[in-house]
Structure 1
Amino acid sequence: MFQAMWSAVALQSRLRPRPIPQIQETYLATLETQLLATLSLGVLVALGIGGISRVQPALARRYGLQLSESAVLLALGSLVVVAVYALSVIWHVTFVLEYTLQAVMIDRWLAAQQLITAAIVLTAYMAIRFVNRSIDALAKTDAITKHQSEVAYHVADIAIVAFAGTVLLTLWGIDLTNVFIGAGAITAIVALTARETLTAMLAGFILLFSRPFRVGDWIAVNETTGIVTDVTIFTTEIQTFDDRSVLVPNDEITDSQLTNFSQNDQLRVDIDVGIDYEDDPERARSIIVDAVSDLELVKDAPDPQVVAKRFDDSAIVLECRIWIADPTMRRKLDARTAAIEAIVRSFDREGISIPFPQRTHAVRNDTFPVDTIGHEDVEPVPAEEYSSH
């Protein structure tokens, strides 16, 4: 009891040192002076906050962003403490601070635990900010994709929080065995109730490490073809060429055949060209190669190729193969259009015909029967004369 009373007296003497009572009686005895002092304190606090905000950029340039933020937080905290104490002195209510501090007075071990806890929380917060900024810096250098940066954020944050939480539980004497047992039970329940969501999340991590595509690539998954616009842990957003936004679950991507047209930075465009059976295929192939070689969208290497593909009903089908760089659907369509137009012009100039479908009809008898009722003067038509193309 005596020790508690002595502590209260010592605390009161610390909060109200010798000059404070004299200042209160001399300068803060009336309501007008208290209001004026409060107004002056508010102005000083505003000036202090403004000064700290102006100093922060200079500190960031000289000592780094993290150290400058820590210094600013410390300065703002000190300013708040001083402002609260000054208000208690102005309005003669230091006893409120005395009562509050007495209520939170603790032993040394508990104080050490609280200080270490605060230090661990602050360290974890600074570590998360440092890791996230490092990931942003890597993303700006194209070392990692947007998808990888987003997943890395979650993985790093969860790992840091889990480690800090484990240390805090150990510090406060909480048995981790019960915690792990409860976490295992919760994980089992979540795995059963949200199996598809967990599967999609695991597929997102698989896509992170395998890197089959990145945002902006032209891909095809099952029946969906388009440009990847966003990738999250659970889904991949694809903008199709008919202006539809399709969300594809990541587990569907990993379980299906994926085609990435942008992976090799070039794409082969095939064009079928039919020529008449009476034309020379070798000469037609040479004309097609010359026609498409000078096109702006067609790459010089590999060189354009033309191969004989098949015998069709009315034509010999040749396949023209050209390659384009930086493949997109627009460039593919433009290259196909330009190649077809160039081939048509060259064929017209060189006398190569592109045949249309034809059929030849013939009869097995010597004559083809014709109904002559009412036309007795009409003679049967010989079969060789009736045959046509």
Structure 2
Amino acid sequence: MSWFVSSAPLQSSSLRPDPIPWIQETYLASLEMQLLATVVLAVVVLLGFGAASRFQDVVRRRSGTQLAEASSVLFLGAVVVGGVYAFSVIWHVTFVLEYTLRTMAIDRWFAAQQLVTGAIVLTAYLAIRFVNRSIDKLSQTRAITRHQSEVAYHVSDVAIVALAAAMVLTLWGIDLTNIFIGAGAITAIVALTARETLTAMLAGFILLFSRPFHVGDWIEINETTGIVTDVTIFTTKIQTFDDKHVLVPNDEVTNSQLTNYSQNDQLRIAVDVGIDYDDDPEHARSVIVDAVEDLESIKNAPNPQVVGKRFDDSAIVLECRAWIADPTMRRKHDAQTDVMDAIVDAFDREGIEIPYPQRVHAARNDGFRIEERRARKGAVSPLED
């Protein structure tokens, strides 16, 4: 009885404005009416949950997923708070809510800390969304690659979250010195135990931002030649021309000689051809140029060139140089085949011979001296003389 008496003053509070006591005395005085009102309240709350789902769908179609989820949470929170308050009114227990609120009473400094913390968290969330959208726009304009955008997402998000966390911890009076010391010790341990992994990761950042090649480029690293299919923080994936998938560590890529055949959008091919020493090299060069300059697989600019390369054992070797556009291994092979076929056809028409390897033995002075020793049956061997 003393508990109800002490709690009576709580009932005449701001949670029971003028209409509420009259409603309680008029319509909620009996147990039957309270039960009926509770059932009606439960139905209303369930309908509110269903309305929240439809409301979320409408907002999602108009404003996007994130705003729809935030609006749905606020709507459900309002339904729950309203349901709890209505239940306390039905059963005349609003003093319980008043007692709970008084228990949760906080001073101004604590409230200010909470408000500033919420503002920091909200600002960090908005900053992350702004930075990510900016990265998406840069990726759409191809100012950065997809892999660079993924790395930029993670780096920017981690940096913003770390800055916000440091500000919140400082606001609540937590000393960051011990945290930094612990983080430094952990970093040193990780650096010693995973040195190769960290080296590959740093090399991955260098590749992603220096961009010596892109996905789809034809590159050569040491003895590996193929098309780049993926670039991660740790490895570069290359598909070779015999359909092998090779994972090359990024530190090996940065420490090795790299050739990018797709960098200049053109590639020079070279085809060697030999002519007989009796043929005219100048005429042969002009025949080769006329034969290959009109090929569809060869670029007109720069023009094909033919230069003398060396004196071989049985031929004068000429080198035909031509350029192809948008270099790939298939275009290179097709262009080489077209050049060789064109040269063979042109030499046949002009009567220029491509000699086979051969050797010519020439006598010096008195010619060859051949000593023949005949062994006859019954003759005395020279060893027996």
TM range (shorter): 0.7 to 0.9
Q: Distance between the aligned counterparts of 1:36 and 1:82, measured in 2?
A: 18
Q: 1:303·1:322 contact (CA, 8 Å) conserved in 2?
A: yes
2:63 maps to 1:78: no
**Cα root mean square deviation, aligned:** 3.2
Q: 2:230·2:238 contact (CA, 8 Å) conserved in 1?
A: yes
Q: 1:218·1:261 contact (CA, 8 Å) conserved in 2?
A: yes
Q: Distance between the aligned counterparts of 1:25 and 1:317, measured in 2?
A: 115
Q: Post-superposition shift, 1:11?
A: 10
Q: 2:216·2:228 contact (CA, 8 Å) conserved in 1?
A: yes
Q: Post-superposition shift, 1:78?
A: 2.3
Q: 1:219·1:227 contact (CA, 8 Å) conserved in 2?
A: yes
Q: Distance between the aligned counterparts of 1:326 and 1:171, measured in 2?
A: 58
Q: 2:302·2:323 contact (CA, 8 Å) conserved in 1?
A: yes
Distance change >3 Å, CA 121–CA 360, structure 1 → 2: same
Q: Residue 246 of structure 1: SS of its match in structure 2?
A: strand
Counterpart of 1:340 in structure 2: which amino acid?
M
Larger of the two Rg values belongs to structure: 2
- Using structure 1 for the length normalisation, give the TM-score: 0.82
Q: Residue 302 of structure 1: SS of its match in structure 2?
A: coil
2:249 counterpart residue number: 249
User: Which region of structure 1 is more displaced relative to structure 2, 332-341 or 20-29?
Assistant: 20-29
Q: Distance between the aligned counterparts of 1:193 and 1:270, measured in 2?
A: 49
Q: Residue 216 of structure 2: SS of its match in structure 1?
A: coil
Q: Distance between the aligned counterparts of 1:11 and 1:157, measured in 2?
A: 50
Distance change >3 Å, CA 313–CA 25, structure 1 → 2: farther
Q: Distance between the aligned counterparts of 1:299 and 1:175, measured in 2?
A: 68
| 2:46 counterpart (42, 48, 66) | 42
Distance change >3 Å, CA 184–CA 292, structure 1 → 2: same
Gaps of 5+ in 2: 1-5, 377-385
1:14-33 superposed matches below 5 A: 14=15, 18=20, 21=24, 29=33
Q: Distance between the aligned counterparts of 2:104 and 2:222, measured in 1?
A: 64
User: Which region of structure 1 is more displaced relative to structure 2, 342-351 or 206-215?
Assistant: 206-215
2:221 maps to 1:221: yes
Q: Distance between the aligned counterparts of 1:333 and 1:118, measured in 2?
A: 64
Q: 2:48·2:79 contact (CA, 8 Å) conserved in 1?
A: no
1:237 counterpart residue number: 237
Q: Post-superposition shift, 1:123?
A: 1.9
Distance change >3 Å, CA 105–CA 194, structure 1 → 2: farther
Identity %: 61
Q: Distance between the aligned counterparts of 1:111 and 1:200, measured in 2?
A: 47
Q: Post-superposition shift, 1:29?
A: 3.7
Counterpart of 1:126 in structure 2: which amino acid?
L
User: Which region of structure 1 is more displaced relative to structure 2, 294-303 or 46-55?
Assistant: 46-55
1:1-389 superposed matches below 5 A: 9=10, 14=15, 18=20, 21=24, 29=33, 34-35=38-39, 37-58=41-62, 60=63, 69-70=66-67, 72-88=68-84, 89-90=86-87, 104-361=104-361, 365-366=367-368
Counterpart of 2:20 in structure 1: which amino acid?
R
Q: Post-superposition shift, 1:32?
A: 6.7
2:382 counterpart residue number: none
Q: 2:139·2:149 contact (CA, 8 Å) conserved in 1?
A: yes
- Using structure 2 for the length normalisation, give the TM-score: 0.83
Q: 2:10·2:99 contact (CA, 8 Å) conserved in 1?
A: no
Distance change >3 Å, CA 157–CA 362, structure 1 → 2: same
Counterpart of 1:80 in structure 2: which amino acid?
L
Q: Residue 322 of structure 2: SS of its match in structure 1?
A: strand
Q: Post-superposition shift, 1:103?
A: 5.9
Q: Post-superposition shift, 1:115?
A: 2.6
Deviations 1:77-136 (A, max 9, x none): 321122223443359687786676566543332232223222222221221122112111
Q: Post-superposition shift, 1:33?
A: 6.1
Q: Post-superposition shift, 1:221?
A: 0.8
